[in-house]
Every structure is written in C-alpha cells, then in structure tokens.
Chain A
C-alpha cells in the first residue's frame, strides 16, 4: 500500500542554519504531496503542498519540490528561526477517479532550533 517515510528526528539546528527534512513516498498513480506542521500545543496546520510532478510548494520561507523520479518531497528552508521549532509531517493523498482524499502520514520529524 501507499506509504511515507521521513527522516528520524529530532533535528537540532542553530538559528539561521539551513534546514532539510527528507521525505520519500511509495504510491500507485500520481499522489498529491503535503507538509503539515504541528507547533507545541496546537493542531496540525498545512504548510505547503504540490499536486503534480515538478511542482514546488512554498510558504513562510519553506519549500519542497515534487520529484517523481526519486519519489521524494524534501522540505527545505534557507534560514530557520526559533519559532520554527515544531513537528513536521510529510503526507500524501492519492488522486484521480475514486480517490477518498485520505491522507497517509509519515511518522513526523521534530525540529528544535536553538538561539
């Protein structure tokens, strides 16, 4: 079945460092890909998404490119801030006729940014 694999955390960075969180997926067809973020004590928030190959999703300085050839959707940010400390989830949703829209999530990656 469809699945998502994320790099294990926690990832600890200093402020202004470059961030990469790896995400790879296994799916039939052409899924849509998402990054959700969960700040401490809050619910899941959509960070960005991409619905087809080579699309780049971006938001709040974060970006991720849908790479069909490597089945990847790695999250990047050029300069992280303490306020980016959170848990990041990669997810996919199968598209096309008959899809349910259900999301399949990775296990999450905790990011800690130190001043």
Chain B
C-alpha cells in the first residue's frame, strides 16, 4: 500500500500528558498537511510543509502544538499538556506540486487519521 499512513490510529491519554502523532506521506510528495476534524464537522487546516519548511500555521495551532518534518519525508505532530478540547481526529494529507509550478492547485491524499481522546 503506497498511500498516506498515520500512527497510531487511536490514542487515549489523560489531561496534561504529551502526545505525538506520526504521518508518512506518499513517497515523493513534497507537500504535507495536518488537519483536525471534530465530530460532525469538516476538517480544519492546522499547518503545512513544503518539503521540510513549515510555511503556514493556523490560528487553531496554539503554542502547545508543534509540528516537524525534519527531512522532508515523514512528519510528527506533538501536543503538549493535552486538554479535553484537543479530543478530535487528526488527519494528515500529502500532495505533489511540480517543481516548475509551485503555486498550482494540488490534489491532496488523506491518511486514515489518528483519533485522540483526552480523558
């Protein structure tokens, strides 16, 4: 399977604990996105990377959230001091934008998500 993978698929944690999620994009995809989806809502953009550079962060991404993509391949999303309001599905997506057209619209392919429950 060469799709986007995410690990873990489910995470239950207690309030105040730190959690880290991993996303492995489709090989050769240069863009990687993180979204958050709460029950009954559409996904909301959190942040994205072009190769290893983090180019935009949403206002939703508080100081407790940090994301990295150190070698331009996999990415991690860490949440420190989790709160009950952080409970959601965290989605990762990747896309390929051609080198000569970095500003074109890309098609994003989503992973299965990591469901976080904060008790």
Interface centre among A32, A43, A97, A107 (most CB of B within 10 A): A43
**Contact residues in A for B40 (Cβ distance below 8 Å):** 107-108
**Within the assembled complex, what's the spacing in Å between the Cα atoms of A49 and B44?**
19
**B46 shortest CB reach to chain A, Å:** 9
Check A44 against B110 for contact (C-beta < 8 Å). yes
Interface size of B by Cβ–Cβ distance < 8 Å? Answer: 28
A-to-B contact residues, CB < 8 Å? 4, 32, 34, 36, 42-46, 49, 51, 89, 91, 93, 95-108
What number of A-B contacts does a CB cutoff of 8 Å give? Answer: 66
Smallest CB separation, B99 vs chain A (Å)? 15
Known: A102-B33, A102-B56. A108 touches B42 (CB 8 A): yes
Q: Which of B41-96 contact A (CB under 8 A)?
A: 41-45, 48, 55-56, 91, 93, 95
| B2 part of interface (Cβ distance < 8 Å) | no
Partner of A107, one of B41, B108, B113: B41
* Beta-carbon contact of A101 and B41 below 8 Å: no
Nearest CB in chain B to that of A93: its residue: B105
CA distance A89 to B42 in the complex (A): 7
Are A51 and B110 in touch, CB under 8 angstroms?
A: no
A101 touching B48, Cβ below 8 Å:
yes
Instruction: Decide: B42 and A91 in contact? CB cutoff 8 A.
Output: yes
In Å, the complex CA distance between A46 and B109 comes to 7
A100:B91 contact, CB within 8 angstroms: no
In contact, A101 and B31 (Cβ under 8 angstroms):
yes
Of A51, A99, A101, the residue contacting B95 (CB under 8 A) is A101
- Cα–Cα, bound, A22→B102 (Å): 31
Min CB–CB distance B3 → chain A (angstroms):
8
Candidates A32, A43, A98, A107; contact of B91 at CB < 8 Å: A43
